[in-house]
């Protein structure tokens, strides 16, 4: 079963991502902020990461930069799931190594379709 | 700013900030309850849809769908069967009526033969007298007298026997006629009843089949609706996270303003005035957003609730009703077949009774033909002998002439009896063939269709049983779903209560804003708006916050639907 890591300081967002993807047949791990996400990613391999941007301790951009340096995460798809929609923020995300951007709230059907496309 | 006012204002702002902090904390646990309850709800919904899907799949099975055409064929075959039964019974009635007439004719002929037998007896006596009168001369006629006597006795015995059997047969035929005549209206009534029952059964089946045919479409519609409602709740729950962030930004601004007021620097007044104006816009915007996503949760859970009253969950009882109606029809048709079988046996029994009579008629005809031949021979011999004796044997000659006449009559009657017998046999044979054809062909046709329908009904029965079992499970899952809806509804109402506290905070902030305006009139107009924008939007994470800020500072309109609660698409780099 393909594994996905959801990183968000909001429990309800983690719940919704987990609910959506578990129902679609994925195993979903959760992390409460960027630091936690980085730790989880280094302990276990994930096929895809969905992360928030603004989080305490370590934000999404910092986490992506660090995750990209972890062995085996060079090409792992990473999606940003955030309330932000500013172009400069997206650009920063892309430069850090994000694969895609989703403005909250996400569309469950769309998310599943993209995850299916990215995690084959 | 006066010394008396300052701590009160700072306290009020800090109180507003704490209120926001508290309501965010309270709402966190409530949104968690909504999210949890909703996940359970989605699980129950999945279960209901899975069960309904299985029932729909079962009903959609070709074997089950083929039942209705089979029932139609059965209906047509049953109608045909009863119609042919009616025709066959009418045919048998005609046959027995004709047979009764032929039996009358046979009786009449038998009576004629008995009369000839009596006449033959008389001629035998007269011949004996003549033989006695002629003495030695008439000795040759002794044999004639003896033969006539013997014929008379044989024929009398045979006709008595035949008469008795014919009368018995006539009685039996009359009884059959009576039975058939009373049976015909009954068959006609039965025909009408079957016609009406089948029309009713087909109407019931048609109607439920129509409903069943709608089931897959309803099911797909239901699945789509549920998926859409679930997606709606998923998006609405995310709305809370957006609201939380916005409230945190308002809190940050309130704390900054409280700090600036404490500093008592008049230069900060314009920025404080702008900050208060912006926070009022933000709080109003947050209230509207919260209202939208709470309404979305209400609508979506309402949509989920609707499936419990959907026709789809009633599909089980519907299939059961259909199966019961069809089984009852099949039982009625089976009973009809058995009844017909019994009737056929009775009619066949009637025909079997005829064969013993026909055997007797045959034997009698053989005897009659023998008598006819003997009479002709006797006539010839006696005429020759009487002619040889001349006038002395005139009486014998006269007797011989009588024998000749009797012989002709006898021959004629014998032939007419033979003809009546043949006609009866032909009639009965025709009726028997008709009955047999009805019995075999019609029954065979009906039995074959009934067999097919039975097999089809067996599938329907299995589907009905499955649907009934599933209906019970669906009912239980629906009851659980109702409970969850009530839980989610409760959590949603509590969330509504939490966020309604924003109104109080707004009133407080508005009061502070008015006080500040009174203390430093025109501060907002003197504000460096660009600086205020940079200061207060620094932590903003949503476009709606930025729009609201601009609306507060520059009076620009806020776009109608800024936050898409239907959910946003993924943008891949």
pLDDT tens digits, residue range B464-505? 777 777 777 877 888 888 888 888 888 889 989 988 999 999
* Beta-carbon separation of B245 and A108 below 8 A: no
Measure in Å the smallest separation between the Cα of B458 and chain A Cα atoms. 37
Lowest mean pLDDT among B12-21, B126-135, B224-233, B482-491: B224-233
Nearest to B244 among A10, A94, A100 (CB): A10
Size of interface A-B (CB pairs under 8 A): 107
Q: H or E element: which one contains B412?
A: helix B394-437
Model confidence at B4: pLDDT above 50: no
CA atoms within 13 A on the CB side of B137: 14
Residues 138-167 of B with CB under 8 A from A: none
Cα–Cα distance, B452 to B460 (Å, whole number): 12
Q: Kindly give the pairing relationship between strand A78-82 and strand A100-103.
A: parallel
What are the backbone dihedrals phi and psi of residue A76, each rounded to the nearest 5 degrees, phi first?
-70, 130
Whole-model pTM: value is 0.65
Span B416-433, average pLDDT:
80
Model confidence at B112: pLDDT above 80: yes
Name the percent of chain B lying above pLDDT 70: 90
Beta bridge partners of A68: none
pLDDT at B442: 65
Measure in Å the smallest separation between the Cα of A103 and chain B Cα atoms. 6
pLDDT band at B312 (very low <50, low <70, confident <90, very high): low
Beta bridge partners of B284: none
Model confidence at B3: pLDDT above 50: no
Cα–Cα distance, B383 to B402 (Å, whole number): 11
* Beta-carbon separation of A15 and B230 below 8 A: no
Question: Taking each helix axis from N to C terminus, what angle separates B315-389 and B394-437, rounded to the nearest 10 degrees?
Answer: 170
Measure in Å the smallest separation between the Cα of A68 and chain B Cα atoms. 16
Measure in Å the smallest separation between the Cα of A89 and chain B Cα atoms. 10
- Give the chain B residue whose CA is nearest to the CA of A93: B573
Long-range contacts of B399-407, Cβ-Cβ distance < 8 Å, separation of 24 or more: B399/B123, B399/B126, B399/B127, B399/B130, B399/B144, B402/B119, B402/B123, B403/B120, B403/B123, B403/B148, B403/B375, B403/B378, B403/B379, B404/B379, B406/B116, B406/B119, B406/B120, B406/B123, B406/B375, B407/B372, B407/B375, B407/B376, B407/B378, B407/B379
pLDDT at B213: 72
The order of strands in the sheet holding A3-7 is A27-31, A3-7, A48-51, A78-82, A100-103, B570-572
What residues of chain A lie within 8 A of the CB of B569, using their CB? 102, 107, 110
Measure in Å the smallest separation between the Cα of B241 and chain A Cα atoms. 6
Model confidence at A36: pLDDT above 90: yes
Cα–Cα distance, A83 to A7 (Å, whole number): 14
Nearest to B238 among A23, A90, A104 (CB): A104
What residues of chain B lie within 8 A of the CB of A8, using their CB? 241
pLDDT digits (tens, 9 = 90+) for B222-255: 777 777 777 788 888 888 888 898 999 999 999 9
pLDDT at B1: 43
- Give the chain B residue whose CA is nearest to the CA of A95: B573
Lowest mean pLDDT among B282-286, B532-536, B555-559, B564-568: B564-568
More confident residue, B63 or B200: B200
Measure in Å the smallest separation between the Cα of A90 and chain B Cα atoms. 9
Model confidence at A45: pLDDT above 50: yes
- Give the chain A residue whose CA is nearest to the CA of B236: A105
* Beta-carbon separation of A105 and B239 below 8 A: yes
* Beta-carbon separation of B567 and A23 below 8 A: no
**ipTM surpassing 0.95:** no
* Beta-carbon separation of B39 and A103 below 8 A: no
Quick check: B3 contacting A, CB < 8 Å?
A: no
pLDDT band at B441 (very low <50, low <70, confident <90, very high): low
**Average pLDDT over chain B, rounded to an integer:** 81
Span A88-92, average pLDDT:
92
């Amino acid at each position: 079963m393909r594994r996905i890591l959801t990183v968000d300081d909001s429990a309800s967002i983690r719940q919704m991502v987990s609910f959506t993807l578990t129902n679609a047949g994925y195993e979903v791990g959760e992390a409460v902020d960027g630091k936690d996400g980085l730790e989880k990613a280094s302990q276990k391999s994930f096929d895809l990461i969905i992360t928030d941007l603004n989080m305490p301790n370590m934000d999404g951009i910092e986490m992506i930069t660090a995750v990209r340096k972890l062995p085996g995460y060079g090409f792992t798809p990473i999606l940003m799931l955030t309330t932000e929609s500013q172009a400069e923020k997206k650009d920063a995300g892309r430069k850090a190594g994000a694969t895609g951007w989703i403005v909250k709230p996400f569309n469950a059907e769309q998310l599943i379709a993209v995850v299916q496309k990215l995690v084959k | 700013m006066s010394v008396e006012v300052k701590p009160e204002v700072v306290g009020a702002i800090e109180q507003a900030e704490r209120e926001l902090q508290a309501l965010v904390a309270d709402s966190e646990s409530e949104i968690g309850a909504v999210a949890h309850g909703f996940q359970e709800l989605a699980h129950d919904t999945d279960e209901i849809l899975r069960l309904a899907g299985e029932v729909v799949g079962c009903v959609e099975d070709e074997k089950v769908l083929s039942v209705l055409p089979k029932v139609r064929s059965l209906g047509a075959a049953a109608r045909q069967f009863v119609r042919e039964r009616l025709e066959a019974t009418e045919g048998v009635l005609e046959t027995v009526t004709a047979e009764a007439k032929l039996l009358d004719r046979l009786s009449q002929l038998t009576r004629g033969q008995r009369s000839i037998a009596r006449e033959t007896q008389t001629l035998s006596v007269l011949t004996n007298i003549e033989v006695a009168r002629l003495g030695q001369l008439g000795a040759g006629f002794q044999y004639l007298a003896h033969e006539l006597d013997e014929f008379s006795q044989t024929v009398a015995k045979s006709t008595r026997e035949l008469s008795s059997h014919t009368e018995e047969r006539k009685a039996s035929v009359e009884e059959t006629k009576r039975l058939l005549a009373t049976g015909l209206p009954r068959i006609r009534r039965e025909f009408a009843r079957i016609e009406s029952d089948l029309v009713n059964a087909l109407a019931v089946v048609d109607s439920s089949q129509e409903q069943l045919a709608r089931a897959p479409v309803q099911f797909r519609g239901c699945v789509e609706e549920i998926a859409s409602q679930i997606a709606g709740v998923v998006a609405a729950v995310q709305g809370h996270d957006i609201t939380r962030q916005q409230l945190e930004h308002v809190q940050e601004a309130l704390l900054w303003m409280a700090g600036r007021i404490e500093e008592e620097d008049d230069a900060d007044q314009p920025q404080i005035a702008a900050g208060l104006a912006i926070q009022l816009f933000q709080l109003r915007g947050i209230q509207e957003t919260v209202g939208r996503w709470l309404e979305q949760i209400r609508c979506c859970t309402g949509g989920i609730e609707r499936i419990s009253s959907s026709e789809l969950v009633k599909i089980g009882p519907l299939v059961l009703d259909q199966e019961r109606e069809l089984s009852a029809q099949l039982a009625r048709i089976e009973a009809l077949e058995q009844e017909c079988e019994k009737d056929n046996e009775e009619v066949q029994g009637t025909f079997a009774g005829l064969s013993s009579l026909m055997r007797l008629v045959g034997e009698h005809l053989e005897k009659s033909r023998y008598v006819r031949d003997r009479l002709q021979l006797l006539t010839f011999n006696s005429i020759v002998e009487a002619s040889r004796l001349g006038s002395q044997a005139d009486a014998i000659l006269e007797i011989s002439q009588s024998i000749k006449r009797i012989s002709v009559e006898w021959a004629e009657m014998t032939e007419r009896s033979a003809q009546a017998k043949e006609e009866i046999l032909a009639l009965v044979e025709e009726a028997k063939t008709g009955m047999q054809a009805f019995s075999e062909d019609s029954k065979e046709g009906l039995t074959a269709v009934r067999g097919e329908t039975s097999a089809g009904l067996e599938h329907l029965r299995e589907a009905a049983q499955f649907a009934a079992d599933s209906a019970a499970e669906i009912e239980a899952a629906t009851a659980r779903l109702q409970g969850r809806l009530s839980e989610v509804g409760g959590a949603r109402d509590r969330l509504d209560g939490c966020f309604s506290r924003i109104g109080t905070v707004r009133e407080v902030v508005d009061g502070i804003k008015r006080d500040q305006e009174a203390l430093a009139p025109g501060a907002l107009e003197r504000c460096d708006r660009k600086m205020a924008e940079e200061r207060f939007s620094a932590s903003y994470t949503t476009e709606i916050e930025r729009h609201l800020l601009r609306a507060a500072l520059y009076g620009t309109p806020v776009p109608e639907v800024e936050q898409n609660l239907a959910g946003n698409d993924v943008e891949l780099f």
